[in-house]
Amino acid sequence: MSSPTGPANGLPVRMPRPRPAGRHRRPEPAVAPEGAPALVLAVPGAPSAASRGLAEEIVSIGRSELPGLDARIGFLEGDDAEGSEFPALSRVLTSVAGERIARAEFARAAGHEVPAQTGPDAVVVPLLAGPDADLLRRMRQAVMDSSAAVELAEVLGPHPLLAEGLHVRLSEAGLARADRARLFTVTTAADGIIVATTGGAEAVQAAAVTGMLLAARLAVPVKAAALDQEGSVAAVAEQLRSEGSTQLALAPYLIGPEAAEGLLDTACKEADCAAAEVLGAYSALGKLVVTQYSAALGLAQGAAAH
């Protein structure tokens, strides 16, 4: 995870490169509008140092995608106590609303004209690859429990960037070729992929869409299964083998905190196959978080992920 500290004394300082002129010049990055609502990343699962670090990394990427973004982190199972390192989502939202009121009152006291508030105090972006019905219900409840005006954004998938992330994680585990353009083989490469997720039927359907995108990348059969439904992964593994696949791999369609401990190990034993790591702090997730934030606000200048 990146550190905010600067270089030690005596070390060279990296200077920004001059921006090229002409038609090859990269466009200036979008900037968050002045007074824009805060982005609150809603982190599911039991809070831990690992999930906090993951969320901070994704938020850091999000800020680089949309400079000026006020980004916060709220934990679905967090603590309501003031100053907690794992603040509850509802508490973060209430705090954001209070800060916005305080800024307006300060401006009025200083003699400045303060326009009437029209937008929400915050946009909550679920840290979820797919639509987990139970977790989304609990996030909506946290929003209602707060005193803030909140817009709840869509989950991050399905999306081609998530298929790319699954491909990267499979290649890191030696279960897929890293580069489709190069004609070389990986001896452990799978010829059948199980994209496994949690969250019910709708979540499995979303995983299946991303799975189709992954299948197009790898040119092997890909099927979706439910990690939290007994027998689902084993049944999909049997189906893939009956269709000719002999070496299977499990690709978790998960960011990480949303899955109960032990689910992946159990699934791998049931399917008798190796597994890649969860998506984790894959860099594209920061882009997708900002994209969903921008979409919720209807910002044409949002940092869209392509």
Give pLDDT, residue 92: 95
Domain of residue 62, residue span? 38-157+284-297
Domain shared by 194 and 129, yes or no: no
Tokens of 78: 């967090």
Domain shared by 153 and 164, yes or no: no
Give pLDDT, residue 89: 96
**How far is residue 101 from each of residues 111, 142, 250, 293, measured CA to CA in Å?**
16, 20, 48, 22
Question: CB-based contacts of 290: which residues, under 8 Å, 6+ apart?
Answer: 39, 62, 65, 66, 69, 302, 303, 305
- In a domain, residue 152? The reply is yes
Domain shared by 61 and 111, yes or no: yes
**How far is residue 115 from each of residues 81, 104, 107, 119, 122, measured CA to CA in Å?**
33, 9, 11, 11, 17
- In a domain, residue 25? The reply is no
**pLDDT block averages, 10 residues each, the chain of length 306:** 44 49 55 86 95 97 94 94 90 90 69 66 97 96 92 96 96 84 59 96 96 95 96 97 97 94 92 96 95 87 42
Tokens of 97: 């609303």
Burial grade of 63 (CB within 10 A; 0-12, 13-18, 19 or more): middle
Domain shared by 265 and 288, yes or no: no
Strand order in the sheet with 71-75: 71-75, 38-43, 122-126, 150-152
Question: What CA–CA distance (Å, rounded) separates 81 from 88?
Answer: 8
SS3 283: coil
> Would you say 39 and 122 are in contact if contact means Cβ atoms under 8 Å apart?
yes
Give pLDDT, residue 303: 39
Question: CB-based contacts of 95: which residues, under 8 Å, 6+ apart?
Answer: 87
> Would you say 86 and 75 are in contact if contact means Cβ atoms under 8 Å apart?
yes
Helix axes 160-172, 201-218, angle to 10 degrees: 70
Domain shared by 134 and 196, yes or no: no
Domain shared by 130 and 174, yes or no: no
Domain shared by 291 and 273, yes or no: no
Give pLDDT, residue 100: 79
- In a domain, residue 51? The reply is yes
Domain shared by 51 and 194, yes or no: no
Tokens of 185: 């083989």
Domain shared by 149 and 212, yes or no: no
Give pLDDT, residue 27: 53
Domain shared by 135 and 217, yes or no: no
> Would you say 290 and 64 are in contact if contact means Cβ atoms under 8 Å apart?
no
Tokens of 277: 């790591």
Question: What CA–CA distance (Å, rounded) separates 256 from 76?
Answer: 14
- In a domain, residue 32? The reply is no
> Would you say 192 and 221 are in contact if contact means Cβ atoms under 8 Å apart?
yes
> Would you say 240 and 192 are in contact if contact means Cβ atoms under 8 Å apart?
yes
Question: What CA–CA distance (Å, rounded) separates 123 from 66?
Answer: 14
Domain shared by 152 and 166, yes or no: no
- In a domain, residue 288? The reply is yes
Give pLDDT, residue 300: 53
- In a domain, residue 191? The reply is yes
CATH number for 245:
3.40.50.1400
Give pLDDT, residue 116: 56
Domain shared by 293 and 148, yes or no: yes
Q: Write phi, then psi, for 295 (nearest 5 degrees).
A: -65, -40
- In a domain, residue 10? The reply is no
Question: What CA–CA distance (Å, rounded) separates 301 from 69?
Answer: 13
**How far is residue 23 from each of residues 19, 49, 224, 302, measured CA to CA in Å?**
12, 45, 43, 22
- In a domain, residue 13? The reply is no
Tally the domains of the chain: 2
